[in-house]
A and B are shown apart, each in its own frame.
Chain A
Amino acid sequence: VTLLEQNPRWRLVPRGQAVNLRCILKNSQYPWMSWYQQDLQKQLQWLFTLRSPGDKEVKSLPGADYLATRVTDTELRLQVANMSQGRTLYCTCSAGTGVDSGNTLYFGEGSRLIVV
């Protein structure tokens, strides 16, 4: 059963151009939605966790700037800007019923970004 739907699945991004990613939650029992990046060395790194509609956060990491928005209870967005190296962005969800089992992450299929 698919818990998350991410789009686009991949995108060629001209250097200097921003790209917008979208993630839709299919099961409301896992409302804690997060973004993770996987770099070209395959390192997985947490970016954001946004629980409530209207929540917004920004972050700058080596190689990209990020703006995340929880749009609704079921939609999470991520804007990626100033990207200098390709990466894959994963949307995740978790139950959040506790820091133990409730923190189990379920991953979307990912959005692979390639800089051109």
Chain B
Amino acid sequence: GDSVTQTEGLVTLTEGLPVMLNCTYQTAYSTFLFWYVQHLNEAPKLLLKSSTDNKRTEHQGFHATLHKSSSSFHLQKSSAQLSDSALYYCALSEGSALGRLHFGAGTQLIVIP
């Protein structure tokens, strides 16, 4: 079945260093991938999304490229800010099931001064 794997449960970084959060997936259907961000005591919000192979998608300083050959959709940012501290989820659209996304376990990013 469909699955999303986020290998890091917790990433701690010093402000100004680059961010890379890993996401790989498995699916038998068409591929649409999402990154959602959840700040403390808030609801998840869409950060970026893509279905186009090898095309870089950017939003709010973050970027990700969907690589179908390696089934990956890693999230990156060139320089971490304190306000980036949050829980990040990678998610996969489940085939033809509208309204239904399959979420990874999430990666908690903590940025320290």
Contact = CB atoms under 8 A, between A and B. Distances in A.
Interface string B73-108: 000000000000001010101111111111101100
Given A42-B87, A44-B106, A46-B102, A100 B93 contact: yes
A41 B32 CA distance: 25
Interface stretch (B14-22, B44-52, B57-65): B44-52
Interface residues of B, number: 28
B49 A101 contact: yes
Contact of A49 (B30, B43, B49, B98): B98
B106 A34 contact: no
Name, among B43, B91, B103, B106, the residue most crowded by chain A CB atoms within 10 Å (CB to CB): B43
Contacts, number: 74
Given A43-B105, A45-B103, A105 B98 contact: no
Main secondary structure of the interface of B (DSSP, over half): loop
A94 interface: yes
B34 interface: yes
A107 B45 contact: yes
Nearest to B43: A107
Interface string A81-116: 000000000101010100111111111111000000
A21 B18 CA distance: 41
Contacts of A104: 34, 46, 49
Contacts of A99: 29-30, 32, 93, 95-98
A78 interface: no
27 contacts: A32-B99, A42-B87, A42-B105, A42-B106, A43-B103, A44-B44, A46-B94, A46-B100, A46-B101, A51-B99, A90-B43, A90-B44, A92-B99, A94-B98, A94-B99, A96-B98, A96-B99, A99-B30, A99-B32, A99-B96, A100-B32, A100-B93, A101-B49, A102-B98, A106-B46, A107-B43, A109-B43
Interface of B: 29-30, 32, 34, 36, 42-46, 49, 51, 87, 89, 91, 93-103, 105-106
Interface of A: 32-34, 41-46, 49, 51, 90, 92, 94, 96, 99-110
